């Protein structure tokens, strides 16, 4: 009996530890007064109005969405092509090259961001959304590659061969056969990339200047001190992340007829 | 008659392993050719080279007189039915069959109509809108066949097409394959390791072993007069008895002396006796060592008392009075024995 109570308390403590900060953040985004501190006197949508009326924050939101969608699409396409190359052709030192392509997963974003900053400086590419976008492709490509490569079986190789045999050009094989068969993996990598790009801060902070992404705008806002507006924008970011994560789960783990 | 496909001196190696060794073969228009051999005999490699999926190390493939050796599968006038069918799982049966026509730029209405016609030929027009995973193995097999035939290939290549089916369905699909081939008139090249399948289907059987052609010809000829010892043992059962060719060109064996024209005197040779040519009769006393009742006949193994090393295989009537361990007297007609050079 005691053990049962103890384990329940322990579980509650763990989940509280993980989710209490988020719950507090979301709760005080509905605060009616100027400070996000108890007592709670909402609910009020005042701060959400303030966020949506703030040109910098809405621009950051749009920038973040554009960067997330574009870089995830690029990372998914590049990851797909790389996976196809490794799965279907005999390449010299294939295992080593596969290791190298997934290596960025283990390197910290700070190091990748600094490396890109130095490199872009050297080739004369200014700090911009595009620079940050390239950074996001760099961090998400290995992930997309790993997900898609794991789903490319030998059985599909024969299906591709059949398409070629029936007169399909190589691009038609990819577009009409390989990609449609792999769409759950493609979809999953796209949404996972979006989740990572959406709330990525370090690389965006290092590589953007005037136009920037939402996490960097939030950081700017936080420098001026806490107010419920930061809670409101934080809740928006959290909400969109949750939606992306749910879509990813549905696509990646849904049982499909085979 | 000019050959539809001419294969000249084809060799292929996977690394140090030679899987095809100077194979030459002609395939006639409208014929049903079966490549028969055990695994590792090179039959599937030969089919892959015909389909354009492999480039041979040496040799040429001519289709309708044109050198296709290095031509991509998409460009050559062949179509393949894969062992695992390789249907497109994300497309309907109709779209699967119409795929080849779509790649040729045939308009949608026309290609769907042709796909429907071809599905009717294989007896599956009702499955037009279904997905491949909704079909049974035999039905998928037929979709794969229709998909390959609808592009009107000069040669249809079938890689162990019945291998994944159970025995009963296999015999049924065999008859259908033969009927469809007669109906469409396309030359079929079919790879199998099942000699019954080969005999049932083939106009022309090609027996392969270790990358070489051991024997080829009409099934009846290859079965009745196999060219080599391997062909004799792989195409049906037989009892092989070694012998020695004497000065008069006869072969002396433990079961008698037989005429063996054309053999070098003094050389070693063999005779092969098919089990259906062994009957009960007064000639060779033997002890029965095994009786297997097969319904319409008994498969009997007997050891001749005069030659205890030989296991003589006989196919006797189901009512034949033979028992395990009993004495029996057997005979065979010397005209029916097969002489094999060693």
Whether complex ipTM tops 0.90: no
Distances (CA, A) of B135 to A18, A178, B96, B144, B172: 49, 22, 13, 12, 17
Average pLDDT over residues B2-29: 88
Chain B contact set for A257 (CB, 8 A): 131, 133
- In this complex, do B86 and A164 lie within 8 Å of one another by their Cβ atoms? no
Average pLDDT over residues A53-70: 86
Question: What does the alpha-carbon distance between residue B68 and residue B204 come to, in Å, rounded to a whole number?
Answer: 22
E strand or H helix at B216: strand B212-217
Q: Is B52 left (phi over 0), alpha (psi -120 to 50) or beta?
A: left
Instruction: Decide if B74 and A257 are in contact by the 8 Å CB cutoff.
Output: no
Shortest CB distance from B53 goes to which of A161, A176, A258? Answer: A161
CATH code given to domain A42-149+183-253: 1.10.3720.10
pLDDT tens, residue by residue, B128-158: 899 999 998 888 989 999 999 998 898 999 9
Pairing verdict, β B239-245 and B78-81 = unpaired
Q: What is the DSSP secondary structure assignment for residue A127, as one 8-state letter?
A: S
Interface test with A, best of B86, B97, B154 (most A CBs within 10 A): B86
Q: What share of chain A is helix, strand, coil (3-state, %, to 5)?
A: 80, 0, 20
Q: Kindly list the residues of chain A whose beta carbon comes within 8 Å of any beta carbon in chain B.
A: 155, 158-159, 161-169, 172, 176-177, 180-181, 183, 257-258
Cα–Cα distance measured from residue A21 to residue B146, given in angstroms and rounded to the nearest whole number: 62
What does the alpha-carbon distance between residue A94 and residue A116 come to, in Å, rounded to a whole number? Answer: 26
| CB contacts < 8 A (A, B) | 66
Among B54, B68, B88, B153, pick the best mutation site for testing chain A contact (most A Cβ within 10 A).
Answer: B88
Asked whether the beta carbons of B21 and B212 are under 8 A apart, the reply is yes
For residue A93, is it left (φ>0), alpha (ψ between -120 and 50) or beta?
Answer: left
Contact partners, residue B310, CB within 8 Å, separation at least 6: B239, B241, B254, B255, B303, B304
Mean per-residue pLDDT for B68-78?
Answer: 87
Q: Which of B41, B262, B49, B45 has the alpha carbon at shortest distance from B155?
A: B49
SS3 for B266? coil
Model confidence at B1, pLDDT cuts 50, 70, 90, reads: low
CATH 3.50.50.60 applies to domain B5-233: no
Domain layout of chain A by residue ranges: 42-149+183-253
Closest chain A C-alpha to B328 CA, distance in angstroms: 55
Each residue of A135-157: b (16+ CB within 10 Å) or e?
Answer: bbbbbbbbbbbbbbbebbeeebe
pLDDT band at B342 (very low <50, low <70, confident <90, very high): low
Assess whether pLDDT exceeds 50 at residue B211: yes
Q: Which helix (H) or strand (E) holds A12?
A: helix A2-28
Q: What is the mean pLDDT of residues A62-80?
A: 93
For residue A255, the model assigns a pLDDT of 54
Distance CA B315, CA B318 (A): 9
- Nearest-angstrom CA–CA distance, A115 and A111: 6
| Interatomic CA distance for residues B76 and B55, integer angstroms | 13
CB A74 within 8 A of CB A137: yes
Given a cut of 60, whether residue A257 has pLDDT beyond it is no
pLDDT at A256: 52
Whether the Cβ atoms of residue B37 and residue B234 lie closer than 8 Å to each other: yes
Tally of CB atoms within 10 A around A119: 12
Average pLDDT of chain A is 85
- The span from the first CA to the last CA of chain B, in angstroms, equals 34
Residue B34 confidence (pLDDT) above 90: yes
Contact A117/A194 with Cβ under 8 angstroms?
no
β strands within B122-184, DSSP E:
155-159
| Domain edges within chain B | 5-233, 238-341
Helix (H, G, I), strand (E, B) or coil at B283: strand
How far B181 CA lies from chain A's nearest CA (Å)? 19
Q: Which residues of A touch B90 (CB under 8 A)?
A: 180-181, 183
The pLDDT value recorded for residue B65 is: 84
- For chain A, the farthest-separated pair of C-alpha atoms sits apart, in whole angstroms, at 72
Architecture of domain B238-341: Beta Barrel (2.40)
- By Cβ distance, the residue of A167, A169, A257 closest to B100 is A167
**Of the candidates A44, A60, A40, the residue with the CA atom closest to the CA atom of residue A221:** A60
Output the six-digit token pair for B302. Answer: 């007997």
Q: At CA B122, angle to CA B119 and CA B123, rounded to 5?
A: 80
- pLDDT of residue B227 exceeding 70, the answer is yes
Structure tokens at B77: 């006038």
Closest CA to B191 of B158, B215, B222: B158
B5-233 against B238-341: fold identical: no
């Amino acid at each position: 009996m005691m053990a049962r109570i103890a384990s329940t308390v322990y579980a509650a403590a763990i989940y509280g530890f993980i989710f209490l900060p988020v719950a507090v953040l979301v709760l005080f985004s509905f605060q009616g007064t100027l400070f996000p501190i108890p007592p709670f006197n909402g609910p009020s949508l005042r701060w959400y109005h303030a966020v949506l009326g703030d040109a910098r924050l809405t621009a950051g939101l749009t920038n973040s969405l554009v960067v997330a969608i574009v870089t995830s699409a690029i990372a998914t396409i590049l990851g797909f092509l790389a996976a196809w190359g490794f799965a279907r052709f005999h390449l010299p030192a294939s295992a080593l090259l596969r290791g190298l392509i997934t290596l960025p997963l283990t390197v910290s974003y700070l190091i990748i961001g600094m490396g890109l900053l130095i490199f872009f400086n050297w080739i004369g590419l200014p700090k911009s959304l595009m620079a940050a976008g390239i950074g996001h492709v760099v961090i998400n490509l290995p992930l997309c590659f790993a997900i898609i490569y794991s789903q490319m079986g030998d059985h599909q190789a024969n299906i591709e061969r059949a398409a070629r045999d029936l007169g399909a050009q190589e691009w038609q094989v990819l577009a009409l056969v390989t990609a449609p068969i792999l769409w759950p993996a493609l979809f999953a990598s796209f949404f996972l990339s979006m989740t990572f790009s959406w709330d990525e801060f370090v690389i965006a902070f290092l590589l953007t200047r005037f136009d920037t992404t939402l996490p960097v705008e939030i950081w700017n806002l936080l420098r001026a001190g806490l107010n419920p507006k930061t809670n409101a924008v934080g809740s928006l970011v959290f909400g969109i992340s949750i939606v992306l994560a749910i879509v990813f789960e549905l696509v990646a783990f849904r049982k499909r007829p085979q | 008659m000019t050959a539809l496909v001419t294969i000249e001196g084809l060799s292929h190696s996977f690394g140090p392993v030679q899987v095809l060794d100077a194979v030459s073969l002609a395939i006639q228009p409208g014929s049903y050719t079966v490549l028969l051999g055990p695994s590792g005999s090179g039959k599937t490699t030969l089919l892959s080279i015909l389909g354009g999926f492999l480039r041979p190390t040496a040799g040429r493939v001519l289709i309708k007189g044109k050198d296709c050796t290095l031509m991509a599968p998409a460009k050559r006038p062949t179509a393949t039915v894969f062992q695992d069918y390789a249907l497109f799982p994300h497309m309907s049966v109709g779209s699967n069959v119409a795929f080849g026509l779509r790649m040729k730029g045939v308009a949608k209405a026309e290609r769907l109509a042709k796909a429907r016609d071809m599905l009717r030929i294989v007896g599956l027009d009702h499955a037009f809108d279904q997905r491949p995973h909704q079909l049974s193995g035999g039905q998928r097999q037929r979709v794969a066949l229709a998909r390959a035939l609808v592009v009107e290939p000069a040669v249809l290549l079938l890689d162990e097409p019945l291998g994944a089916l159970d025995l009963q369905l296999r015999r049924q699909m065999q008859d259908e394959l033969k009927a469809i081939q007669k109906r469409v008139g396309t030359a079929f090249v079919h790879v199998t390791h099942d000699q019954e399948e080969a005999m049932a289907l083939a106009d022309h059987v090609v027996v392969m072993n270790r990358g070489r052609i051991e024997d080829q010809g009409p099934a009846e000829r290859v079965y009745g007069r196999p060219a080599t010892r391997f062909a004799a043992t792989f195409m049906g059962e037989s009892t092989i008895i070694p012998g020695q060719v004497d000065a008069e060109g006869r072969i002396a064996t433990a079961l008698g002396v037989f005429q063996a024209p054309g053999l070098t005197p003094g050389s070693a040779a063999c005779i092969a006796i098919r089990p259906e040519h062994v009957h009960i009769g007064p000639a060779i006393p033997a002890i029965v060592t095994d009786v297997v009742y097969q319904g319409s006949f008994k498969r009997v193994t007997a050891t001749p008392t005069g030659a205890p090393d030989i296991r003589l295989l006989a196919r006797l009537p189901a009512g034949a009075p033979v028992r395990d361990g009993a004495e029996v007297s057997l005979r065979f007609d010397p005209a029916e024995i097969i002489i094999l050079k060693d």
